[in-house]
């Protein structure tokens, strides 16, 4: 059975707290969703007056998706052609429109302040007006499940009216997000029985944390269209998460949502959309999260090595994700052996180098280090345990000077002085930066670029600080994570200290050492080719 995917990220998702899209964002997201194979993309709300939104809608060259614009029924006591926003919807360039109307008598009386009979007329008049204008209309039956619980006959009358007026699809909406899966399933079944020829969609909010489960229940009961948003963003607690729904329905229940090739692009697509909107990605999301196929416990790692089915419900490749082996004292020798084997084939869990590496990891963890998001720092430790590491430079000293006062606009203008030794040569270099870490980063790479020209392509792309031992207040130790790139590869390093500058230095030092070791091509490039596992979330 084919399931239509209706994405409302740009409309309902935009109603979520802290979510905002520029026109440029919208165009990029529409194209990404089109490539994914989404059937309908709700591009915006006509009532919001997004005039600029409609000007580009005809020129996107979409291959898979249809753009849909969204609006409400006419206002009480007016004619459709007299309603400003309904008229705008009729005149917009889109072939497809969605119009919502009330299905709950309580909402009709309290919000619309009109009679149930007038609401029925509003639904009929609005849908008929749009279809007469040549639009393909779907009707969003707002608050349908609450209305059905209060008065099933009235809720059914509303959707019967919309269908009679020409609506091609009727979407049953759990607008309050307060339904449970069994109730949704039974209600959808009742609608299917009463109107066997209707094409039914489902739109669930996540106020009980059950939007995905309710949507699945609706599909099992006969809904052929699912509505949701990327990462579940939206009003209040959000909408049904399409990142989870699409693979769940296709891989677990056998419904056809997108092609297999498009499904394999799911992880990269949703991450790309999060990057477009500058939103943090939840690495714990099912299917697409960086930790969705991560293994940390030694028993789990050993099991998944022998057969992935032991601790993975599906293949990460099916959604374009990767298996991650996380290294810590909990993962024991299994994870370390895997990592070290990718450097020197033949290493076994009984090799003394593995024991040395495990002791080193435990020692670092006791000091507060965490390597789950810092695979480059971990790899340097493993190389040292294998007696393969060679420091490319030695720090003699560094000094950071913070200039005060500074403005919010320019930031804190700082300077750093770094003295390093490379072999028998020494180099002293200073640099100014916006903040002490930036100044230290610039000074270090400036000091070393003469010896190692490839460092000129390296830049810091992310910087995070975490406080632990918080009982010590400002004297607490901090854990710093740094992400770096040379334009082709991305790697992450970490440092720990009660001094944030020192912790940052450790992470910066490891970043440079990892890059230079990688450039030598002795171990790490082969490791990337041979090892399909990574110790941090996929990017």
- When pLDDT is averaged across residues 75-100 and rounded to a whole number, the result is 92
Degrees to nearest 5, angle at CA 144 with 141 and 150:
145
- When pLDDT is averaged across residues 70-87 and rounded to a whole number, the result is 94
Question: Using CA atoms, how far apart are residues 248 and 3, in angstroms rounded to an integer?
Answer: 12
Find out whether 141 and 107 touch, Cβ atoms under 8 Å. Answer: no
Question: Using CA atoms, how far apart are residues 383 and 371, in angstroms rounded to an integer?
Answer: 15
pLDDT at 8: 98
- In words, the CATH class of domain 394-530 is alpha beta
Residue of 341 and 398 predicted with greater confidence: 398
pLDDT at 267: 95
By mean pLDDT, which of 16-20, 105-109, 425-429 is the weakest?
16-20
Question: Using CA atoms, how far apart are residues 74 and 127, in angstroms rounded to an integer?
Answer: 9
- Residue 269's contacts (CB-CB under 8 Å, 6 or more residues apart) are 32, 33, 35, 36
Q: What is the CATH number of domain 4-258?
A: 3.20.20.70
Q: pLDDT tens digits for 183-196?
A: 999 999 999 999 99
CA atoms within 13 Å, Cβ hemisphere of 75: 7
Report the range out of 371-375, 470-474, 516-520, 535-539 with the highest average pLDDT. 516-520
pLDDT at 536: 40
Burial of residue 24 (number of CB atoms within 10 Å: 0-12, 13-18, 19+): exposed
- What mean pLDDT is reported for the chain? 89
Report the range out of 144-153, 298-307, 345-354, 460-469 with the highest average pLDDT. 144-153
For the chain, the structural domain boundaries read 4-258, 296-385, 394-530
Q: Collapse the DSSP code of 203 into the 3-class scheme (helix H, G, I; strand E, B; otherwise coil) and give the result.
A: strand
- When pLDDT is averaged across residues 145-156 and rounded to a whole number, the result is 98
Structure tokens at 527: 């490791």
Question: Using CA atoms, how far apart are residues 161 and 163, in angstroms rounded to an integer?
Answer: 5
pLDDT at 537: 41
Q: pLDDT tens digits for 388-423?
A: 877 899 999 999 998 776 554 555 689 999 999 999
Structure tokens at 465: 């600080």
- When pLDDT is averaged across residues 466-490 and rounded to a whole number, the result is 81
H or E element in which residue 123 lies = helix 116-132
pLDDT at 534: 41
pLDDT at 535: 39
3-state helix, strand, coil in the chain (%, to 5): 45, 20, 35
Where does the pLDDT of residue 120 fall: very low under 50, low under 70, confident under 90, or very high at 90 and above?
A: very high
Name the region of 65 (left: φ>0; alpha: ψ -120 to 50; beta: rest). Answer: beta
């Amino acid at each position: 059975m084919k399931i239509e995917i209706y994405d409302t990220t740009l409309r309902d998702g935009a109603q979520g707290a802290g979510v905002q899209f520029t026109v440029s964002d919208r165009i990029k997201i529409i194209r990404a969703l089109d490539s994914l194979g989404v059937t309908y993309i709700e591009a915006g709300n006509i009532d919001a007056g997004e005039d600029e939104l409609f000007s580009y809608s005809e020129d996107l060259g979409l291959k898979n998706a249809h753009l849909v614009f969204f609006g409400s029924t006419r206002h009480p006591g007016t004619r459709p052609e007299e309603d400003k926003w309904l008229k705008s919807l009729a005149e917009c360039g889109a072939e497809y429109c969605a119009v919502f109307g009330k299905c709950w008598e309580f909402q009709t009386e309290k919000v619309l302040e009109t009679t149930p009979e007038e609401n029925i007329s509003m639904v009929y008049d609005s849908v008929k007006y749009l279809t007469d204008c040549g639009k393909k209309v779907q009707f969003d039956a707002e608050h349908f499940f609450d209305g059905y619980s209060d008065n099933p006959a009235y809720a059914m009358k509303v959707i019967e009216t919309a269908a009679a007026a020409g609506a091609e699809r009727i979407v049953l909406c759990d607008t309050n997000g307060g339904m449970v899966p069994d109730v949704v399933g039974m209600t959808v079944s009742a609608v299917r029985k009463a109107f066997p020829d209707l094409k039914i969609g489902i739109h669930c909010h996540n106020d009980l944390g059950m939007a995905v489960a309710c949507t699945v229940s609706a599909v099992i009961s006969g809904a052929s269209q699912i509505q949701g948003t990327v990462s579940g963003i939206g009003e209040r607690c959000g909408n049904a998460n399409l990142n989870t729904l699409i693979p769940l329905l296709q891989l677990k229940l056998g419904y056809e949502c997108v092609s297999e090739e498009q499904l394999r692009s799911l992880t990269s697509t949703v991450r790309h959309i999060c990057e477009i909107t500058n939103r943090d990605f939840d690495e714990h999301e099912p299917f697409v999260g960086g930790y969705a196929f991560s293994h940390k416990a030694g028993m789990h790692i050993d099991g998944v090595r022998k057969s992935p089915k032991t601790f993975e419900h599906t293949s990460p490749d099916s959604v374009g994700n990767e298996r991650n082996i996380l290294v810590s004292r909990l993962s024991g020798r299994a994870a370390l052996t895997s990592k070290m084997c990718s450097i020197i084939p033949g290493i076994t869990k009984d090799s003394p180098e593995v024991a040395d590496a495990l002791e080193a990891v435990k020692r670092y963890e006791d000091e507060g280090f965490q390597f789950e998001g810092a695979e480059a720092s971990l790899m340097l430790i493993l190389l040292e345990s294998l007696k393969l590491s060679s420091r490319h430079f030695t720090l003699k000293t560094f000094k950071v000077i913070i200039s005060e006062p500074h403005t919010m606009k320019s930031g804190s203008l700082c300077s750093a002085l770094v003295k390093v030794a490379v072999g028998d040569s020494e180099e002293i270099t200073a640099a100014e930066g916006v903040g002490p870490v930036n100044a230290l980063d610039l000074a270090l790479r400036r000091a070393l670029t003469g010896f190692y020209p490839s460092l000129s392509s390296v830049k810091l792309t992310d910087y995070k600080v975490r406080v632990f031992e918080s009982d010590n207040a400002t004297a607490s130790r901090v854990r710093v994570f740094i992400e770096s790139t040379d334009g082709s590869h991305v790697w992450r390093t970490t440092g720990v200290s009660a001094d944030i500058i020192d912790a940052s230095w450790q992470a910066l030092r490891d970043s440079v050492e990892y890059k230079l070791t990688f450039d030598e091509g002795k171990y790490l490039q082969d490791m990337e080719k041979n090892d399909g596992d990574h110790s941090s979330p996929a990017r």
